[in-house]
Structures are given as C-alpha cells and as structure tokens.
Amino acid sequence: MRVALIAFVVACGTPMPSWVPDAGPCTPFTSEANLMTPQVSFKSDVMPVFEQHCASSSCHGIADSPKGDLFLGAQLAKGSDSNMVHGALVGKTSTQLPSMMFVAAGDPTHSYIIHKIDGDQCMYESQCVGTDCQMSMPFSDGLMPVETRDIVRRWIAQGANDN
C-alpha cells in the first residue's frame, strides 16, 4: 500500500509524506581493499561468513526452500555442504536480477551477492523482477563490517574457487 502511495505521490509531483524516509542517493559501494591478497578459501573463509550471517532457517539455511532461491548452508544446523552452496552461487543467475549472476567468478562488481551485502542493490531496481531488488543482506542485522564483506569480495575476485 505504501509503495503504491509513494509511486502515486512521486508521479503526481506531490511532496512526500513525512513518514517516508529519505534514503538518499543510491551509490555503489567501493572497497579500498587489495582483492588479490590475502588468498581466500571458500570452505575456510567464506562459508563461515555465510553460516554466521546468512544461513538461519528463516533465511538462506534450508536447502529445499531458501529465501531468494539461494541456499547458503547450515541445513537444520547440521553443518553446511560447501559444494552444494558453491554450486548454487557461482555462475548461477539471480532470480531477483536476471541480468546478473549471484557470483560472476573473477568479477565482484558484476556479482549480485556483493551488491546485496554492500546494500547498493538499489542501483538495479529498474532491472529487477517486478522492479524490486528487495533488502540488503543480512536483512535483520544491518550490513556486515566491511572487512567481512571483503572476504566474500576477495574470494570472487580471486576466481570464486571451490577450495
């Protein structure tokens, strides 16, 4: 309802109601990190990030019904199958943004998962299914620290290997 009202208000040129937050401009996040060092391991470095921040049963932690059609591990807290998670991510097209893969090996800037964890997926709203790229991830905790996001970014930049 609020989305429709906002669209109507914007289309009609009416001032925004006070309850609509000003999110400011959507700008791409830029990491200052050297993405080639240190070397990152998917199993030892990236999977723990997913397990801690993404793999709850209410989000991406149930293999047969994950949010956003993306399983990131921790099926019923029995541990993660890193091969299954890797296979679901690398080279697979995002269902929310079909023009971008979840992970484009070697290319973090064209990897949808990076935009979701950096909170700048709003740059692609007009290209997303239903023009809605939804929320940044993790949803309930706010953005992860840059150092944590850079672990995932390095892994992708280094080829998104299943190592």
In terms of pTM, does the model score above 0.75?
A: yes
Which one is predicted more confidently, 3 or 46? 46
Q: What is the mean pLDDT of residues 43-68?
A: 76
User: Which tens digit of pLDDT belongs to each residue from 108-160?
Assistant: 999 999 999 999 998 998 899 877 788 888 777 788 999 999 999 999 999 99
* pLDDT level of residue 54 (50, 70, 90 thresholds): confident
Average pLDDT, the chain: 79
Strand partners, 111: 101
Q: DSSP states of 81-104 as a string?
A: -HHHHHHHHBTPBPSS-TTSBSB-
